Structure 1
Amino acid sequence: MSENAGTEQDTEREADGDEQDERSELVARVAAHDEELATAVEDRITEAETAADDARERAEELESSLARTRADFENYKDRAEKRREQAATRATADLVEKLTDVRNNLLRALDQEADADIRPGVESTLETFDRVLEEEGVTPIEPEPGTEVDPERHEVMVRVASPEPEDTVAEVYDPGYETDDTVIEAAKVTVSDGSGDDGDSEESDGGDSE
């Protein structure tokens, strides 16, 4: 074998060795990259699982808190309703106690002799009754004649001949009652037709001439 042929073979072997080294290095880099990628994916999966566990735990806490809040609210409603019923019962008892005093006064008035004048007793009882209404915040609705009709507070019974302006209150038939801004019972009124005639006629003096 010539010297040149041996040199060429050595060169080829060196080239093959370099190529193999490059291939091994490339494989090693790819393997390292794959390992890093796999590690990163595993870390992301772990983070996602941890976040999911935290979210699930938070949801359970919120659900438990909501259940407690709902139960507390139901208990509050029950207590509030019980207090309202108790307050209504006490208010009714207080009102009945006041009204029984009025009734007892009326019974005493009726217990008088048949020919006795019971008007003073009735007037006194009425004053007591009015005082009870005032203490309860109830005021009478008694519009003056000539007052404009308020459909919310006045119930028109009939139109009558009256000197009052047309479509105004002529007379109160029954007073109404209200408390604050709430009408308990509208006043029953008659309404003027504006004719100017109140139904009372004056005798003519034409027949008195001498």
Structure 2
Amino acid sequence: MSEESPESRSAAEDDGESARVEQADERTDGADETEAVDATAADDEPESPTVEGPESALVSRVTEFDETLAEDVAALEARLAATEAELEERDERIEELESALKRSKADFKNYKKRAKKRQEEIRERATEDFVGRIVSVRDNLVRALEQDEDADIRPGVESTLEEFDRILEEENVEAIEPEPGSDVDPTRHEVLMRVDNDLPEGSVVDVYRPGYEMAGAVVREAQVTVSTGEGGDDSASAAAGEE
């Protein structure tokens, strides 16, 4: 067997080194291509959807399992928050209305008190005015009684009566004095007795005491006598007997 020369071994070693260098370059090129492909793939991947605004703990937990359901939960929470805000606003409005109602009730109660007090003051002043006018009538009567016993006081009394009637008229007071033969009004007349008379039965015969009414309201009923309707028949029978 022939021995290999040093020159042959050196050439073989150089060929092997060249082959190793080529393989290393191939591996490097392949790695670069892989990294480029991975970068392109990363750029082409769609971005995951994000929820604007802070997420609640419930939404965060649901997102781990189902992003679509998490979006629905977030929408429901937003609606719930809006509803709670609306209810709070309504509660505030109700409190305002209740407070206004209480103030209105208090104001109305105070108004009633003031109105009642005002009416009492008007009534008192009206009474004072009326008394101030009728005392002059009393003064006239006192002066009439102070006349001598033989003095004719009738003119003075008539004048005083006229003054008194004038005061009553100013106060819108009218006398109730039904005419004989008029019908009895139970709301304005008080029947004292029934008398035999030729006037129609149940009609007024005479006024015993006049009544008074003020502004359409009866102050005192008139006391009257009423006919039985039998007086006319007795007169007719007596006349026939005489004949």
* Both proteins in one fold, TM over 0.5: yes
Partner residue, 1:162: 197
- Go from structure 1 to structure 2 and tell me whether the alpha carbon gap of 1:129 and 1:28 turns closer, same or farther (over 3 Å shift): closer
SS in structure 1 at match of 2:231: coil
Q: How does 1:76-87 map to 2 (within 5 A)?
A: 76-87=111-122
- Cα offset for 1:180? 2.4
Moved over 6 A (4+): 27-30
Question: Which region of structure 1 is more displaced relative to structure 2, 135-144 or 172-181?
Answer: 172-181
Q: Per-residue CA shift, 1:4-23, capped at 9, x if unaligned?
A: xxxxxxxxxxxxxxxxxxxx
* Distance in structure 2 (CA, Å) of the matches to 1:83 and 1:130: 29
Partner residue, 1:112: 147
Paired AA for residue 33 in structure 1 = T
* Distance in structure 1 (CA, Å) of the matches to 2:216 and 2:65: 87
Partner residue, 2:221: 186
The answer for unaligned runs of 5 or more in structure 1 is 1-26, 205-210
Aligned residues: 174
Partner residue, 2:86: 51
Matched, 1:131 2:166: yes
- Cα offset for 1:135? 0.2
Q: Per-residue CA shift, 1:48-68, capped at 9, x if unaligned?
A: 211111111011100111011
Partner residue, 1:7: none
Matched, 1:151 2:186: yes
Matched, 1:121 2:156: yes
The higher radius of gyration belongs to 2
Q: Per-residue CA shift, 1:17-72, capped at 9, x if unaligned?
A: xxxxxxxxxx9897122111111121121012111111110111001110111121
Paired AA for residue 118 in structure 2 = R
Alignment RMSD: 2.2
Q: Per-residue CA shift, 1:136-181, capped at 9, x if unaligned?
A: 0000000000000000000000001222211000000000000222
- Cα offset for 1:87? 0.4
- Go from structure 1 to structure 2 and tell me whether the alpha carbon gap of 1:28 and 1:158 turns closer, same or farther (over 3 Å shift): closer
* Distance in structure 2 (CA, Å) of the matches to 1:119 and 1:195: 39
* Distance in structure 1 (CA, Å) of the matches to 2:165 and 2:220: 16
* Distance in structure 2 (CA, Å) of the matches to 1:165 and 1:30: 110
Q: Could you say which structure has the greater relative contact order, defined with CA pairs below 8 angstroms and 6 or more residues apart?
A: 1
- Cα offset for 1:116? 1.3
Question: What TM-score, normalized to structure 2?
Answer: 0.68
Partner residue, 1:99: 134
The answer for unaligned runs of 5 or more in structure 2 is 1-61
SS in structure 1 at match of 2:225: strand
